[in-house]
Structure 1
Amino acid sequence: MAGRDWLLTCAEGHIPQTDILIFRNTEPVRRKLADLVGRCRLGVALPENEGEMLHDFTICPQQFRVGDVYVVLPAAVNLECVWATWNSFSTCFRDEKHHRRLRAAAFEHINECRTRATPFLSLANSGVHETETQSVYQPNHAIAIVMLYTPNIAQYGRIAEANIRQYCKRHGYTLYVHRDVPPRLNDGKTSANWHKAALLHAYLPHHQWVFWLDADVLINDMNRRLEPLTRERDTVLARDIGTWAFNSGIMGFQRNQQNYDALARVIERCRNLDDRSHIYANQGDQYYFIDVFHSLPDFDATRIYDFIELNTPWVYRRPDSFMVHYIGMWEDNRALIMDYDLRHAAME
């Protein structure tokens, strides 16, 4: 504040944000604030955005720095956690845009790190210490779960692995964990999500049912089993939060020739694409799962589970949710909220 009587910054556009206001106690500032209060009375026409009331004060631009310190940094589900690595005075969460659980998780995490003198984003040890690129747990059971995560997302991938390992051990399910793309599938230019069909196709002959869980999925209700989901059906699929017929992050397939052949067709469709370098290239793997399985003669879209029952987006999570999918998030935020939810689940 050296040489300043006030410090106000903008969050978006040219209008100052009103959640972080710094004023020096001087006569000119007191007069300006008294005038501001006088314009905030019943019967006075107010602007649509309250920040416009601060027009008497000069405003600093977004991400303004004093020396090497940012005055305020934004925090959002879909933004990198720059507040954890950049030198800043404060962090701002916009209430109208971001879920309250993100704020709660971040505030709790920041306070814990300050108390323990640990770096931000230093999360609790997941208990997963294996360094092998592939592990199999409880082999040769009727039901198997397959998951894959690559080293760049291991921070939350290991959180999910520990959770799913505990679930499989409790219920006697086989678990296949891939901590990187298998060498036989790795061409150096294909994103990991495109290998779902190949791994499901490889494991399906060895089990009655094989399930795929993305590495950003947590089992929230450890007491619920998979068997009730599989009764009188060949596939277990769940709705997507958007307009897609189903979401490819949680899928289950019974061992039968139709599913085996359908997975082979998904593999073939994906193999012929010119770009699989990222999750959403060529509409993403989900498009091809939907296209192939929707074309099966006995496919019944009415039997797809709703996303509250099975594939619950994290913003709709409840204490009794079965599987929670942490979609649409920056990787650091995903790890932060997954860790937060697991630690608080025991208290619900």
Structure 2
Amino acid sequence: MLGGFQSLASKVFMLVVSLFFDHAPGALANHRRYARMHNYRHVQIDMSQQSGSAPEKLWTYKYEVLLHELKRIEPGEIVLLLSENAVIIGSTPLPTLLDGRDWLLTCAESPLPQTDIQLWRNTERVRRKLLQVVTHCRFGVELPPDEGQLLCDFEALPSRHKIADAHVVVPAAANLESVWATWSTFSVCIADDKHHRRFRAALFAHVNERLTRSLPLLSFPGTEACDTEPHSVYQPEQAIAVVTLYTPNVARYGRIAEANFRRYCERHGYTLYLHREIPSHLNDGKTAGDWLKPALLREYLPRRKWVFWVDADVLFNDMNRKLESIMHGHDALFARDVGTWIFNSGIMGFKRTQQNYDAFQRILDVCGQLPDKSSVYVNHDDQHFFNREFKEHAGFDATHIASFVEWNTPWSYRLPDSFMVHYIGAWEDNKALLMDYDVTQSAME
């Protein structure tokens, strides 16, 4: 991988190529920003109409484009090839990244090189080796399962490799820790998971806006204005109440939810019981906040006609729709879980009945016998016990449970008219990023 080419390269021509097989305006704006920062030429190639094509069509075109651009520039000059899943966070110039090298490939999540961010110097050796890659992804040739295998003859730097004191490429996905925001990072590649388009749009919008305003990544201006008392009650003495709790360790997204809940409840005249930490009378020092749902519901139910539990990783997306619209004459309201549970316990509604009150007590009694409630995921979490209790009720009919399309909609299925959106399955900081993005989107829709 090391070549004899030394980087007196401050005068070497630089080309940034954005080759997209999917629509990603945030990525394009980001690539343009980096190119303009260093006065590099930027070329955009939009092949989004081919996004549903078979891999051989995409890969063949991608590496033909790379060879084509290399042949158009002078020997020794540099091409940065970026996909729609790449975003540049740092400002390191290309000659510094490629100093002493003919190419720069890095691994991200596997021993194979990631292919969203590639840096190449125009040399005879590079072009000959890339011609072999092109030959290996022609129509009619059996392809490897991973694009990175096409580049297996090129040495790749290991993951977490740093140049100029910055990690060259850091992977990101909704369910991965957001280390790209805390490490010194040059670029980020989005893992191609089932949620990546929604997450990609949110991440790139966040990065671009924070870089433009010179604000820290994962900062959310405006949420600092939230109250700081352990417990607040808004619009007291209303017939319908919303109850939620978030602890300081998840306040980054909890504050976004709080502002949203307050606006919603003020609009419709609902009481909001908001806990910013575990209530002192329920705090044994060993129990995570999620396990307190039955206790808080039992505490507030006698005071109201209806009480809704809403997790702090939820947004009221359709601010005009009332909770009354989903009551449908039932005494307990649930929506189907996207996973294997009968219903999801992140949003639930309960009418003031003795049956519901007694159900909360039974859940408390069973959970009180558990040896460990220190996190959400031990002992099947609270969802198991709510499901077990209510499915045993006389008259319980799973067909009467609402579709998550109607409410309690997972964030990856959000539409402009979704009622309540639940940011399940995302890393905590990414929940805040996605929620902040959707609050902005809702204001524009």
Change (3 A) 1:297 1:83: same
Alignment of 1:227-306 (within 5 A): 227-306=324-403
Counterpart selection for 1:28 from 84, 103, 125: 125
Query: Does the 8 Å CA contact 2:195/2:412 hold for their aligned counterparts?
Result: no
Deviation at 1:247, TM superposition (A): 0.9
Task: Give the distance between the partners of 2:304 and 2:137, measured in 1 at CA.
Answer: 69
Query: Does the 8 Å CA contact 1:128/1:161 hold for their aligned counterparts?
Result: no
Task: Give the distance between the partners of 2:145 and 2:323, measured in 1 at CA.
Answer: 51
Deviation at 1:5, TM superposition (A): 1.4
Task: Give the distance between the partners of 1:289 and 1:96, measured in 2 at CA.
Answer: 30
Say which SS state the counterpart of residue 198 (structure 1) adopts: helix
The answer on 1:338 being equivalent to 2:415 is no
**Letter in structure 1 aligned against 2:436:** D
Q: What are the ranges of 5 or more consecutive residues in structure 2 without an aligned counterpart?
A: 1-97
Deviation at 1:128, TM superposition (A): 4.2
Say which SS state the counterpart of residue 409 (structure 2) adopts: strand
**Letter in structure 1 aligned against 2:269:** G
Query: Does the 8 Å CA contact 2:173/2:193 hold for their aligned counterparts?
Result: no
Query: Does the 8 Å CA contact 1:77/1:330 hold for their aligned counterparts?
Result: yes
Task: Give the distance between the partners of 2:244 and 2:443, measured in 1 at CA.
Answer: 24
Deviation at 1:120, TM superposition (A): 0.6
Task: Give the distance between the partners of 1:276 and 1:48, measured in 2 at CA.
Answer: 42
Task: Give the distance between the partners of 1:144 and 1:166, measured in 2 at CA.
Answer: 14
**Letter in structure 2 aligned against 1:85:** T
Query: Does the 8 Å CA contact 2:190/2:196 hold for their aligned counterparts?
Result: no
Say which SS state the counterpart of residue 212 (structure 1) adopts: strand
Change (3 A) 1:22 1:300: same
Say which SS state the counterpart of residue 90 (structure 1) adopts: strand
Say which SS state the counterpart of residue 286 (structure 1) adopts: helix
Counterpart selection for 1:68 from 165, 190, 201: 165
Query: Does the 8 Å CA contact 1:165/1:175 hold for their aligned counterparts?
Result: yes
Deviation at 1:316, TM superposition (A): 0.6
Counterpart selection for 1:152 from 249, 257, 263: 249
Task: Give the distance between the partners of 1:231 and 1:278, measured in 2 at CA.
Answer: 34
Counterpart selection for 2:276 from 167, 179, 192: 179
Change (3 A) 1:236 1:98: closer
CA-based RMSD: 1.5
Counterpart selection for 1:120 from 217, 224, 230: 217
Q: What are the ranges of 5 or more consecutive residues in structure 1 without an aligned counterpart?
A: none
Counterpart selection for 2:227 from 130, 134, 139: 130
Query: Does the 8 Å CA contact 2:226/2:259 hold for their aligned counterparts?
Result: no
Task: Give the distance between the partners of 1:49 and 1:286, measured in 2 at CA.
Answer: 37
The answer on 1:110 being equivalent to 2:207 is yes
What is the TM-score normalised by the length of structure 1? 0.96
Higher Rg: 2
**Letter in structure 2 aligned against 1:173:** Y
- Which residue of structure 2 lines up, in the alignment, with residue 222 of structure 1? 319
**Letter in structure 2 aligned against 1:205:** P
Q: Which is further off, 47-56 or 202-211? A: 47-56
Counterpart selection for 2:407 from 287, 291, 310: 310
Deviation at 1:33, TM superposition (A): 2.5
Query: Does the 8 Å CA contact 1:128/1:162 hold for their aligned counterparts?
Result: no
Q: Which is further off, 322-331 or 94-103? A: 94-103
- Which residue of structure 2 lines up, in the alignment, with residue 14 of structure 1? 111
Change (3 A) 1:209 1:25: same
Counterpart selection for 1:55 from 152, 160, 163: 152
CA offsets per residue over residues 128-155 of structure 1, 9 Å max, x none? 4211100001111110000000011111
Task: Give the distance between the partners of 1:47 and 1:289, measured in 2 at CA.
Answer: 46
Task: Give the distance between the partners of 1:248 and 1:36, measured in 2 at CA.
Answer: 50
Query: Does the 8 Å CA contact 2:104/2:119 hold for their aligned counterparts?
Result: yes
Aligned residues: 348
**Letter in structure 2 aligned against 1:110:** V
Task: Give the distance between the partners of 1:66 and 1:27, measured in 2 at CA.
Answer: 25
Task: Give the distance between the partners of 1:176 and 1:231, measured in 2 at CA.
Answer: 24
**Letter in structure 2 aligned against 1:158:** R
Deviation at 1:271, TM superposition (A): 1.0
**Letter in structure 1 aligned against 2:127:** R
Larger relative contact order (CA 8 Å, sep ≥ 6)? 1
**Letter in structure 1 aligned against 2:383:** Q
Counterpart selection for 1:82 from 160, 165, 179: 179
Task: Give the distance between the partners of 2:189 and 2:99, measured in 1 at CA.
Answer: 23
Q: Percent identity?
A: 60
Change (3 A) 1:187 1:340: same
CA offsets per residue over residues 141-178 of structure 1, 9 Å max, x none? 11000000001111110111111111111111111000
CA offsets per residue over residues 60-109 of structure 1, 9 Å max, x none? 22222235321100001111111111112110013344421211111111
Change (3 A) 1:120 1:202: same
CA offsets per residue over residues 32-75 of structure 1, 9 Å max, x none? 23343344444444433332222332122222223532110000
Task: Give the distance between the partners of 1:250 and 1:301, measured in 2 at CA.
Answer: 16
Task: Give the distance between the partners of 1:84 and 1:136, measured in 2 at CA.
Answer: 34
Query: Does the 8 Å CA contact 1:75/1:81 hold for their aligned counterparts?
Result: yes
Q: Which is further off, 248-257 or 98-107? A: 98-107
Segments of 4+ moved more than 6 angstroms: none
